[in-house]
């Protein structure tokens, strides 16, 4: 295997050919988490390619994660959707988990919009809520930038204090106001999984300032910051976390609640896309 830079460029070229994506197009990239993949079905003139058909990308194995890229148009905006993602608990290191986000950046995505299903640790949040992530706490013990730095992608010590781009945050809030959709905001804590958090871990996360917990998203945010890519993230609150919930947690329930929210979620994203393209400039691809 070559460097992550070489592999990301190779994967990006293969994805561009498979999706017939013109190099002059700078799409909004949307990563769709558990139960939220149906948004990609709304894209007009859609073309898709599975992770397994691209170099360096393992198959997605988790229920609710199709594991493919879909390119099309929505609300007059070119969109590159990632249906499903990779997770550390599947056996991948953090750099592999974040690799699809690397590829989206190399393809010239003007913005990276990350979504996930999350458990509420803030008692003011409830299943069905949508929460804009304002910041995160990485409790996984892993970072996708560990190892030699690759300067073509970004600096050795990237600043992540503004990893969640303020202009995109305002675009999300504006879309929420226009659609009348309540958009909460809060801090997301990332655990490795696949076991759900213990009640003590949930209390710890809350003490550290987290409002929701989950098993994804943070590695992708870190590589977006490393590549100086504009980024925002939305959690679909699907359950109360352990110690708050009064029943055992199951992934099937997580996917089911996300499916119930999918209509509001898609409506919010449709309204957001034009504002996102106005908020951040187009980016040139690296390959």
Is 182 annotated in the active site?
Answer: no
Q: Which among 42, 95, 204, 251 is annotated as catalytic?
A: 251
Is 196 annotated in the active site?
Answer: no
Q: Which among 89, 92, 185, 245 is annotated as catalytic?
A: 89
Q: Which among 12, 117, 176, 233 is annotated as catalytic?
A: 117
CB 190 within 8 A of CB 217: yes
Please name which of 149, 152, 117 lies closest in space to residue 286, comparing C-alpha atoms.
Answer: 152
Is 1 annotated in the active site?
Answer: no
Q: Which among 60, 215, 241, 287 is annotated as catalytic?
A: 215
Q: Which among 10, 42, 50, 90 is annotated as catalytic?
A: 90
Q: Which among 26, 116, 216, 235 is annotated as catalytic?
A: 216
Please name which of 287, 221, 229, 275 lies closest in space to residue 13, comparing C-alpha atoms.
Answer: 287
CA distance 96 to 285: 20
Q: Which among 116, 196, 239, 271 is annotated as catalytic?
A: 239
Is 126 annotated in the active site?
Answer: no
Is 34 annotated in the active site?
Answer: yes
Is 190 annotated in the active site?
Answer: no
Is 90 annotated in the active site?
Answer: yes
SS (H, E, C) the chain: CCCHHHHHHHHHHHHHHHHCCCCCCCCEEEEECCCCHHHHHHCEEEEEEEHHHCCCCCCCCCCCCCCEEEEEEECCEEEEEEECCCCHHHCCCHHHHCHHHHHHHHCCCCEEEEEEEEEECCCCCCCCCEEEEEEEEECCCCCCCCCCCCCCCCCCCCCCCCCCCHHHHHHHHHHHHHHCCCEEEEEEEECCCCCCCCHHHHHHHHHCCCCEEECCCHHHHHHHHHCCCCEEEEEEEEEECCCCCCCCCCHHHHHHHHHHHHHHHHHHHHHHHHHHHHHCCCCCCCC
Is 200 annotated in the active site?
Answer: no
Q: Which among 26, 34, 116, 122 is annotated as catalytic?
A: 34
Residues that are catalytic: 34, 65, 87, 89-90, 117, 215-216, 239, 251
């Amino acid at each position: 295997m070559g460097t992550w830079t070489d592999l990301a460029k190779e994967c990006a070229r293969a994805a561009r050919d498979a999706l017939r994506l013109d190099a002059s197009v700078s799409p909004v990239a949307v990563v769709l988490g558990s139960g939220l993949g149906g948004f990609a079905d709304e894209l007009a003139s859609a073309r898709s390619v599975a992770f397994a058909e691209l170099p360096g990308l393992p198959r997605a194995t988790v229920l609710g994660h199709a594991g493919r890229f879909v390119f099309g148009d929505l609300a007059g905006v070119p969109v590159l959707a990632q249906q499903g993602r990779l997770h550390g608990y599947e056996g991948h290191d953090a750099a592999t988990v974040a690799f699809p986000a690397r590829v989206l950046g190399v393809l010239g995505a003007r913005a990276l919009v990350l979504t996930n299903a999350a458990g509420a640790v803030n008692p003011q949040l409830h299943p069905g809520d949508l929460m804009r992530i304002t910041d995160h706490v990485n409790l996984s013990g892993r970072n996708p930038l560990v190892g030699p730095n690759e300067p073509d992608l970004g600096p050795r010590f990237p600043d992540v204090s503004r990893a969640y781009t303020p202009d995109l945050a305002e675009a999300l809030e504006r879309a929420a106001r226009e659609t009348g959709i309540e958009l909460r905001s809060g801090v997301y804590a990332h655990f490795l999984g696949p076991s759900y958090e213990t009640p003590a871990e949930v209390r710890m996360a809350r003490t550290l300032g987290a409002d929701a917990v989950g098993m994804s998203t943070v590695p992708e945010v870190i590589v977006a910051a490393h590549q100086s890519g504009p980024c925002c993230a939305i959690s679909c609150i699907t359950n109360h976390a352990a110690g708050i919930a009064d029943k055992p947690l199951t992934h099937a329930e997580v996917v089911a609640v996300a499916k119930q929210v999918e209509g509001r979620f898609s409506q919010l994203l449709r309204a957001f896309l034009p504002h996102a393209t106005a908020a951040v400039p187009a980016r040139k691809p690296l390959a």
